[in-house]
Structure 1
């Protein structure tokens, strides 16, 4: 039996989804299915029932999960301890898509060229990054400071404001800055409710007495911009997206609202891991906001 089988079982049970387990482990769904079939064959039991919504544990699967959880936790702890003895330590780093796209690529090349091994896993929200850190699935993460909890170590990297992204010719496109009252009557394009920009903007807008009218919800940030470009609505995004928006000919106007900001930190499971990642990635160079 292999450790990968146990990890595939753990994630499938946790998310009740083979595809989600594959995403979390950076594997394919067929690989996850194969691992679970191998476990079931080894013990001659059915661990999951397949449903239209995903998978559900059988009674045997629930019992197996209870017994295997401390085993996997111990194996993860052993793996983390052994990393300390490696000549060339490797880390698993999580990141928000916007930070990865705009900040990390050059640093990752330098890091790997120096002989260090690093794996990057992208998560759509800081809440997911925090959970993966707490579960031990990540060593560190580049995430919103507002989501750091508990015993996680963190160090501030930079803060940024938000921008309103408007289509060409929009009545507000030539403004130097905008307030939340200026956006009261607009239609918006956002991601699903778990989108952090969507949630943060909506919460602050409610203090101004309105709920943003969301005309379209999409999955990817680039889809926001294409839909803004064709006039479906406007969107609100972190400053990091300014260059991407302007490449599409869109207006990117700062929102003058002190509460509508985010601070990106490097968070880690321990101060030792965090300090090493901070030094190796040369993230101290981000003390000012990234270049546009």
Structure 2
């Protein structure tokens, strides 16, 4: 009997439509870069705790690491070689022995407004319900429209769109990147300007995690790594890390890279939208981590110990 050859690489991912798009795009890019057939790179769907718990806000049950814990365990168990994540789902500090090795080119970072009753947030009638699982989006909506009720809704993109159709909520906000990747950007009534509605750290970025000591996989991933996205993400994650950021805190941050220059904007907002602090940094790409950390430390000091209490 002919023995089948082992996979060239093994990808681990969540099973949502968006997660599968990200995994298949990574598979396609790796196969093209290394001249191997698609089927030589396997994709394993791993159910995470975050997928299993849909009835409570993530902040109540352990934070965004619930979307990565089981996949990271598969890396440690060496049943997969690389984990493909939405960058904004990743914990600020990765487990010892795991590293963020590569990023795909970043999609549009902006937030989309989804509503059948109004074109924009400004046009939404007073007292309307906006559903979101994101404390950042909720706080920023309250900052712009304190007369609107923000309620917590969970689920993948399709689930949230159904909650609009059923009238459970009047509007929601979703990452435009995800809508574009799923081919449903036309569902957006409008798109927020990133200057006035700063996105989440990592929004629009696909991050690839590996074992730190797996030099073969890390070298293979170098062929598809988007340098500018990885550098921007380095600055944003350092900003988040200095703030001890998680999905329990309303934090926004976005970095852009232009050649050897980097620019970063960061924002913290009280959960009720009543107070916000913003800062910015600019420097060289080699300073990405330091610039992010410095911006985060500034806002942490300006906000003070009780800033995120409510």
The TM-score, its normalising length taken from structure 1, stands at 0.47
Higher-Rg member (1/2): 1
Greater share of helix:
1
